[in-house]
Copies of this chain bind each other. A is one copy, B any other.
Amino acid sequence: MALIVQKYGGTSVGSVERMKNVARRVLATQKQGHDVAVVVSAMSGETNRLLDLVKQITDRPDDREVDVVVATGEQVSIGLVAIAIQTEGGKAKSFLGDQCRIVTDSTFSKARIKSIDADNIHKALKKGHIAVIAGFQGVDEEGNVTTLGRGGSDTTAVAIAAALKADACEIYTDVDGVYTTDPGICPAAKKLDKISYEEMLELASLGAKVLQIRSVELAMNYKVPLWVKSSFTDDPGTLCCEEDESMEDVVVSGVALDRNEAKISMLGIPDGPGIASKLFGALDEKAVVVDVIVMNPPREGKIDLTFTVGKADLIKATDVVKSLAKGLRATSVATSGEIAKVSIVGVGMRNHSGVAARMFKVLAKEGINLEAISTSEIRVSALIDAKYGELAVRTLHTEFGLDSKTPAKKKK
């Protein structure tokens, strides 16, 4: 007998009919002899409906009160899912963030979990109940309602699994697992049976929207075996877990494309100490997160600085750069939103040399120019012209032997 935490997202509980489906799945797991805790999101569309009500009043609402409003989405879901389970003949009890003591800090709208007291949930499980837990929400130490930010229900599920010392945490979604790359771009993409936390982290931060990055970090820290499964099929899905030896045989596990960055360059800056610290200090003050940074060695006493930011921050970042350009005596500032970042990820890179070189070579062969490069121990990313994004993904997917032998069914 195992203790299993299952998480169902907004699409999986998007209608009363789908909630009944969730109820049957949960009960089937319980009938196999397991204790089951279920974390649910708001019905799809509900969070946006609530935010829209707020927006009808003001564009600059108080975060505390917004959290009070949007936390109701998950509250409705847990009540309805508990009733659906009871209607299917099971026992169920719902838990708000407050009721299972998911205590967070007081950063409304993107709070971080500080502690969970799983006693109440354990008690309910012991009585044969299925615990139905509101995702996305918690309560701070003063008893204020908080929310964890978009996608926070994944984080709730992993945190609950860690607190309960669960045997597995299963994330049910509308895809049936983690793929080597986006099947919409590369029909030869194949589903992975297993992926390491580190790889998943790199893929999640590169824009693969299967799991929220914080939930993967949390799973890694607490060694929670994390499954990505479909709530509409019986496919075993993908297991995200600690690295094992077999994983290192594979050089590259996945290829990711991120089209959500923009590039800014400050050109012809007379070299001198403190240029980078001035620029990135100023960006940090404005809460602009910088990703790739490239600085060329000085040429004729002048340097070029290039970096990328999220597209949403482009205007803000450009303002900062322009305001500094004069003081730094830069000759010009250039920006571009027409870039893409293509990355290969794999724990096997640690033990295989020449992976980056092989990536650059095959891209060059296709006539794709690299505008900047950034690497980690298990990742190589290249900034390229946006129009080559899909071509680069398919080329790298084939080059590193990831192509499926059976052509993939088109995913919805």
Interface residues of A (CB under 8 A from B): 16, 19-20, 50, 53-54, 56-58, 61-62, 64-69, 71-72, 75-76, 78-80, 82-84, 86-87, 92-94, 96, 98-99, 143-145
CB pair A62–B82 under 8 Å, yes or no, is yes
**Quick one: which of B54, B64, B76, B143 contacts A72, CB cutoff 8 A?**
B76
Please indicate the chain B residues that have their CB under 8 angstroms from the CB of A79 in the complex.
Answer: 54, 65-69
7 smallest CB-CB distances across A and B, nearest first, come from: A69-B79, A68-B79, A72-B72, A16-B56, A58-B87, A65-B82, A65-B79
**Quick one: which of B61, B72, B75, B98 contacts A83, CB cutoff 8 A?**
B61
How many copies of the polypeptide does the oligomer hold? 2
**Quick one: which of B16, B50, B56 contacts A53, CB cutoff 8 A?**
B16
Expressed in whole angstroms, the minimum distance between the Cβ of A72 and any Cβ of chain B is 4
Expressed in whole angstroms, the minimum distance between the Cβ of A257 and any Cβ of chain B is 38
Distance, CA A80 to CA B57, complexed state (A): 8
Distance, CA A64 to CA B85, complexed state (A): 14
Please indicate the chain B residues that have their CB under 8 angstroms from the CB of A61 in the complex.
Answer: 83, 86-87
Expressed in whole angstroms, the minimum distance between the Cβ of A358 and any Cβ of chain B is 54
Residue from the set A50, A54, A62, A84 with the largest chain B CB neighbour count within 10 Å? A62
CB pair A71–B65 under 8 Å, yes or no, is no
CB pair B80–A54 under 8 Å, yes or no, is yes
CB pair B53–A65 under 8 Å, yes or no, is no
Expressed in whole angstroms, the minimum distance between the Cβ of A27 and any Cβ of chain B is 14
Nearest CB in chain B to that of A69: its residue: B79
Nearest CB in chain B to that of A86: its residue: B62
Distance, CA A25 to CA B174, complexed state (A): 47
Distance, CA A82 to CA B53, complexed state (A): 13
Residue from the set A71, A80, A92 with the largest chain B CB neighbour count within 10 Å? A80
CB pair A86–B65 under 8 Å, yes or no, is yes
CB pair A83–B62 under 8 Å, yes or no, is yes
Expressed in whole angstroms, the minimum distance between the Cβ of A15 and any Cβ of chain B is 9
Please indicate the chain B residues that have their CB under 8 angstroms from the CB of A69 in the complex.
Answer: 75-76, 79-80, 83
Contacts A53-B76, A57-B84, A69-B80 known; 16 new A-B pairs at CB < 8 A: A16-B57, A54-B83, A57-B80, A61-B86, A64-B93, A65-B92, A66-B79, A66-B83, A68-B82, A68-B96, A69-B75, A69-B83, A71-B75, A72-B75, A98-B98, A98-B143
Please indicate the chain B residues that have their CB under 8 angstroms from the CB of A66 in the complex.
Answer: 79, 83
Please indicate the chain B residues that have their CB under 8 angstroms from the CB of A96 in the complex.
Answer: 68, 145
Please indicate the chain B residues that have their CB under 8 angstroms from the CB of A82 in the complex.
Answer: 62, 65, 68
Distance, CA A56 to CA B58, complexed state (A): 34
Please indicate the chain B residues that have their CB under 8 angstroms from the CB of A99 in the complex.
Answer: 143-144
